[in-house]
Amino acid sequence: MTVWEVFRRERKGQPFQHAGSLDAPDAGFAAAWAREQYGRRGESEALWLVPRAAIREVRDFPDALDLAYRRVDGYSLKERLREARERAGTAARDR
């Protein structure tokens, strides 16, 4: 038996989302059971069945060089903005 991960899409244009898993001896059985479990009432527009073993999962995202300039938290505008407003004489509008 192989464990298959089931992803379902509710409507065209939406992302496929993980729904659950099932075990089946082959792709034919997997499709039959996935239809029964996730498509009996028109709740899915499409299903993706992926053998769990075929999934390559990545969990670690090393940032050894601290590349903060690529992230929103890499920019702190507050101080500079205050200074810029002071110089421009628009500081009063700053609450």
Check residue 18 for interaction with other proteins (CB under 8 A).
yes
Among 2, 31, 37, 85, binds other proteins (CB under 8 A): 37
Q: Which of 35, 42, 26, 41 is nearest to 6 (CA)?
A: 35
Q: Which residues contact 7 (CB under 8 A, 6 or more apart)?
A: 16, 17, 18, 19, 47, 48, 49, 50
Check residue 30 for interaction with other proteins (CB under 8 A).
no
Check residue 43 for interaction with other proteins (CB under 8 A).
yes
Among 22, 30, 34, 47, binds other proteins (CB under 8 A): 22
